[in-house]
Structures are given as C-alpha cells and as structure tokens.
Amino acid sequence: MATLESLGNETIDDLGLEEQEVIVGRSLRQMAWLRIKRDWVARTCMFLLLLILVVALLAGPICAFFGVDPVTGHIELVQQDGSSLPIGPWGGASWAHPLGIEPGYGRDLMARLLAGSRTSLLIATVATTISISMGVVIGVFAGNLRGRADAIMSRFIDLMLAFPVLLLILAMSPILTERVTNFYAQFHWDNDTLNHWANVTMLILLLSVFSWPYLARIIRGQVLSLREREFVEAAISLGATNRSILFKELLPNLWGPIIVFTTLSFPGVIAAEAGLAYLGVSVQEPDSSWGKILTYSIGYFVQDPAYFFIPLGLLVVVVLSFNLLGDALRDALDPRANRS
C-alpha cells in the first residue's frame, strides 16, 4: 500500500524533475550584482577607482616613503635660464621625484597630485552626498505628497534648474568664502588650515546646492509612477502606514536611479571643480586640487608635456571610469533587460 509520502516521491521521480536545472528566482538587486561581476569593463573601472581612492587616503605614508612633500620647492632642479622648466626628461622624473617636478618652484608633482586628489575627492564625495540626499528627500516628498505641495515643489525645482549655475557660483564664491572664513575663525586654526577648509567648504556648498534639482525631478517622476503600481495599492489596502509605504515599498525601488545618478554626478562634480579652477575659483596656494594643477599645467602643454599629461591622464581616468561604471550600472539595473 502506497503511503501518501511514497506516492509523492513516485510522482516526482516519474516527472524526472530531479535532473532538471533548478530555476532560481533572483531579485533585481542580485541580478544587477551578477551582471556587474560578469562585466569586465565595470570590474576594471571599480578596481581603478578603488585604487585611486586608497592611494589618496594613504597620501601621507606614500609621501613619507618617497621623502617628498607638496610644499617644498626644489629650485636647484629647475633650469635657471628664466624658463624654470624642470631639468631632465619626463618632467625631471627621478627616484627622488617619481612623477617629476613642477616647473617654477620645482615642487614634487606626485606629492601635489596626492594632496590634490584628497581635496578633489573630498569635495566630490561630500558634494555628491549632499546633493543626492537633498534630491532624494525633496523628490520623494514632492511625489508622495502630490497635489498642491507637489506643484509648489515642482515649480521650485524648475526655478532652480533655470538659473545660470556657473555664473551664480562665480558670483557667490567670494562672499561665501568670506562668510565661511568668519564662521571657522572661532576654531582658532592656523592660517593655512583655515584657508584650506574655508575654500573646500565653499566649493562643496556651491557644487552641491545647484545640482540636487536634477535628481529631485527624476525621483519625483519615479515616485509618482510607483505610487500607481499594484504593489503599493496592495500595501495601502492592507492598511500600511504612509511611513512604511515610503520605506518598504518606494525607497527600495528608487535605488536604481539613485545609484546611477551618483556614479554620473561624481565625475560631474570633479569636472566642474576643474572648470571652476580654470575660472579662478579654487583652493588657494599652496593647496592643490586636480583642477588647479591642470589649470597651471595647461600652460606647459608644449614645453613640458609630462607635467601636463600626468594630471590630465589621472583626471580622465577617474571621470571615464565613473562614466563607464554608470553606464554599466544602468544596463545592469534595467528591469527590462534579459533576466539571466
């Protein structure tokens, strides 16, 4: 007499399901991660960016290891014929100065690039974080509240997008620097530290304040369409509170656009910092940032190509990697793509 258990086993054996490959249900996040892992371009970009980040974080030890620093000049290493170009090929590269030295004072290029990396990466990271948080919060609120509040917020977003941002940043920078310097004066730092942080804060504020509306608009649109979806309706009909809908239903679905926007906004901030440095809005001597180094080095494009191409190469690698990574992430997070 066949028990229920054996009957069940028999049926499964008969169907031969054991041999068949088991189809695993994967969430979009898991699939995106799998796709990214398979994509060698995305892997290479992530590796390069992590490498640059680690090197920038270890700037102090690396400089100490080579015995260089970003401030000391080496007049004896530049030509005394008035051109102040570094002596020797490759921008005066040697064991003591692996990437050569700057024309002029003869400061070590590697040390300056490392110091500049810290500044630029710090500015880009904090500015991106601020603009993303503002964009998400305002976008979610506008989309979630709907009605009049949404209309007002949308108009505000439109208004922010209408301003000539570069001009406003240029016009605001001297005033903001002054205000921030006055604010920091209470901490009694020495002059260099004060100048450094005042300028960095000014750049962070100006670069973040004007970049959130783009994300806010995208997020608002997403929230509006998500709110009409069945799973949100189901949650509402089950009596979910507004808060749990926001955190459990809406936010998890917004990760895609947020991540993609982050990877595209970060290089945007770095490029914007470079453009501002060209227009004279940057950290002050002897501080350095990527944009500042590049702005100086462009004048030596012909006479001292190494001094020019090393900073440019670094900047392009970072921006390019982020853009490529952003593209790969967008493809990976595309729910319409083939789920395999």
Confirm or reject binding of residue 183 to another protein (CB under 8 A): no
Among 275, 286, 306, 309, binds another protein (CB under 8 A): 275
Confirm or reject binding of residue 164 to another protein (CB under 8 A): yes
Q: Which of residues 119-148 bind another protein (CB under 8 A)?
A: none
Q: C-beta of 236: minimal distance to another protein in Å?
A: 23
Are the C-beta atoms of residues 196 and 287 closer than 8 Å to each other?
yes
Query: Which residue, 47 or 163, is less far from another protein as judged by CB?
Result: 163
Among 11, 146, 163, 242, binds another protein (CB under 8 A): 163
Confirm or reject binding of residue 324 to another protein (CB under 8 A): yes
Among 15, 50, 87, 320, binds another protein (CB under 8 A): 320
Confirm or reject binding of residue 55 to another protein (CB under 8 A): no
Q: Residues binding another protein: what is the number (CB under 8 A)?
A: 35
Among 31, 63, 71, 319, binds another protein (CB under 8 A): 319
Tell me how far CA of residue 66 lies from CA of 73, 94, 290, 306, in angstroms.
Answer: 15, 11, 21, 20
Among 58, 168, 185, 234, binds another protein (CB under 8 A): 168
Paired strand residues for 101: 108
Confirm or reject binding of residue 298 to another protein (CB under 8 A): yes
Q: C-beta of 6: minimal distance to another protein in Å?
A: 50
Determine the interface stretch with another protein among 43-51, 78-86, 168-176, 193-201 (rule: CB under 8 A). 168-176
Determine the interface stretch with another protein among 103-111, 163-171, 235-243, 249-257 (rule: CB under 8 A). 163-171
Q: Which residues bind another protein (CB under 8 A)?
A: 155, 158-159, 161-164, 166-168, 170-172, 174-175, 178, 267, 271, 274-275, 278-279, 291, 294-295, 298, 301-302, 312, 315-316, 319-320, 323-324
